[in-house]
Amino acid sequence: MGKAWRIRALRAEDGGPVRAIFNDYVENSFAAYTEQPLSLESIQSMLSQTDGYPALSAIAEDDSVIGFSFLRPYGSHNTFAGTVRITTFINPDCTGQGLGAALLERLETEAAAQGIRSILAHISSKNVGSMAFHRRHGFVQCGCFEAIGRKHGQTFDVVWFQKRLTPRITSSQGG
């Protein structure tokens, strides 16, 4: 049996489903740092940071959004133009199907084509599944801020991971 989902570009109308997925993690895990669910306006503001960077949705057979992943700038200075942060959330009922790996592979391909050299991920130490996923996919732990977060009455570290890419500059980009 083939996969029951596909990947496409993240669209403005995906904001509602993105909010529902994200807020599930807000309420039930350490994957999203905030303790309060985000409004649609907050989600749209977060998604606006992806302008000019790869941003994807995972779509089920019934055309519902079951996951999303995007890149956004690491910093506002042009000295960091080749470095991005990654954000990925999959509907908890749809994990373990290869969605995260497929989204990551496509983001990496698109990022390398744009000349991006480094993808950073910051992950709660309580989110061991995400840390294991990133390690399996070539990310290397590069830092840890100890005991800086507190959620659901528990303190957690923020662990940083990095994956170096080989930029693939196309002829239209010069080079």
Amino acid, res. 51: D
Residue partners of 77: CB distance under 8 A and separation at least 6 = none
Residues in the chain, how many? 175
The answer to whether 96 and 107 have CB atoms below 8 angstroms apart is: no
For the domain with range 5-173, which CATH number is right: 3.40.50.2300, 3.40.630.30, 3.40.630.10, 3.40.980.20? 3.40.630.30
Give the pLDDT confidence score for residue 167 in this predicted structure.
73
The position carrying tokens 């239209």 is: 172
1 pLDDT band, cuts 50/70/90, is very low
175 pLDDT band, cuts 50/70/90, is very low
H/E element, 174: none
The position carrying tokens 């996923």 is: 133
Residue 136 pLDDT exceeds 50: yes
CA distance 112 to 89: 22
Give the pLDDT confidence score for residue 145 in this predicted structure.
98
Residue 172 pLDDT exceeds 90: no
Best CA proximity match to 27, nearest among 169, 152, 158, 168: 152
**130-147 mean pLDDT:** 98
pTM, two decimal places: 0.92
- Can you give 95-154 as a three-state secondary structure string? CCCCHHHHHHHHHHHHHHHCCCCEEEEEEECCCHHHHHHHHHCCCEEEEEEEEEEEECCE
CA distance 108 to 118: 10
Amino acid, res. 111: A
